[in-house]
Amino acid sequence: MDSLTYVQNTFRDYYANNFSLQSALQMIEKREFGFASFDGWMLRHRSFKTKNELTMFLQDFAPHDAYFSCAYYEEPEAEMERKGWLGADLVFDIDADHIPTQCSKIHDEWTCGNCAFSGKGITPEKCPKCGNERFDTRTWPCEVCLDSAKTETVKLLDFLMRDFGFSDKEIRVFFSGHRGYHIHVENEAARSLNSMARKEIVDYVTGLGLDITYFGLSDRKILQGPSTKDQGWRGRIARSAYDFVRNANEDDYKNAGLQTNVELLIRNKKALLKSLDGVGTWSTVKGVAFGTWKRLVEHSIGSISAKVDTAVTTDVHRLIRLADTLHGKTGLKKVEFALSAVSTFDPFKSAIAFKAGTAKVIVSDAPKFRLDNEIFGPYKCKKIELPTAAALLLVCKGRAKVVE
Ligand SMILES: [Zn+2]
Ligand SMILES: [Zn+2]
């Protein structure tokens, strides 16, 4: 059996025997659905009246990937211009593809689709050699990367609840089934926002275009910076800078781009903390000039902004992976989890769709990984019999072939 047939049969088995739509689908009849088949074509502009109807379709079709629109339409089955857009959930995608982690240089590779120039780590926007924008990528759903995606998710949730005032009942969080998290806001006011308005929200949570002088400089003699008690970005910056100054050692300062003043900053730690915590009068710390405060603020913005994918949030017609369905790149499920469970949620346990069976594979190469409590690999040119979930993950990621 070839590997694609193996994946297709396994997916078919899941949809026929283990599948149910656990996650809620608001106004299902107003959504557009799309499905990628195993033959490589895409079925779009479908709609379903009920969850039951959708479930039956999925049981029968067993897609490679299943999607639904963040948008609500009068006529979801009509062509794009005639659908009658009624609004869209506010959706955020946080993906390890956009987060620079140390390990991405080990397990991620990209190759230019034009000139075949290749590199390790995060895929660049343009090929550094020929400027082409298409790449073949080889990534891995790594535990460390997913942890950092979760950290970004926690930061985003704090922005959404504290600064935008969305309630925990309006916000839903999902593991994407691959390398990240999806955050959906289902709120009536947010629903009607156009693409530009959504871009403003992205700019806010990513801290794009923050003017440092607005946060710090009143005149050249008295520098009035933000205080930890301030609202919004001002308070966030001050609190982050406060934590940084309180804990930073020499190396942390150097890594933050403050190498020239390290000694002075460490010596004045108490005064700095007092400045950040109090009314925010920066100029009282002797020897620490505006440039240093500016760098400290910039470093804080970098560490507290949430790294979300702009294109996903600003696209008001976007198709998003449907929860409880399988991700074609991993064989893992997209799963929803409670907001209160963010810190304890384990994607490599909750997203496993197959608990029984094994498959014999030849693994070309794969890093060490964990599924539930079992550790696998690393593998290099190895023939091995693995539990279905592990074999499927390797085959879907193009790291293994099925034997026989
Ligand atoms: Zn190139
Ligand atoms: Zn990683």
Average pLDDT along the chain: 93
Residues having C-beta closer than 5 Å to ion ligand 1 = 112, 114-115, 117, 127, 129-130, 132
Ligand nearest to the CA of 144: 2
* Residues 352, 389 contacting (CB under 8 angstroms): yes
Q: Which CATH number fits domain 354-404: 3.40.5.50, 3.40.50.880, 2.60.40.10, 3.40.50.300?
A: 3.40.5.50
Distance CA 227, CA 327 (A): 45
Name which of 111-120, 186-195, 285-294, 385-394 the model is least confident about: 285-294
d(CA 144, CA 149): 9
pLDDT of 175 above 70: yes
Per-residue model confidence (pLDDT) at position 97: 84
Of 37, 34, 32, give the one whose Cα is nearest residue 4.
37
CATH number 3.90.920.10 is the correct assignment for the domain at 3-94+143-200+309-353: yes
Q: Where are the domains of the chain?
A: 3-94+143-200+309-353, 102-138, 212-304, 354-404
Predicted pLDDT of residue 57: 98
* Side-chain half-sphere exposure of 288, counting CA atoms within 13 A: 26
Pairing state between β 358-366 and 379-387: antiparallel
Pairwise CA distance, residues 128 & 117, whole Å: 8
Distance 317 CA to ligand 2 centre (A): 31
What is the tens place of the pLDDT at every residue in 35-50? 999 999 999 999 999 9
Check residue 337 and give its pLDDT.
97
What DSSP character marks residue 173?
E
Distance 366 CA to ligand 2 centre (A): 13
C-alpha pair distances (Å), 361 with each of 91, 320, 364, 376, 393: 38, 31, 9, 13, 11
> How many CB atoms neighbour CB 221 within 10 A?
6
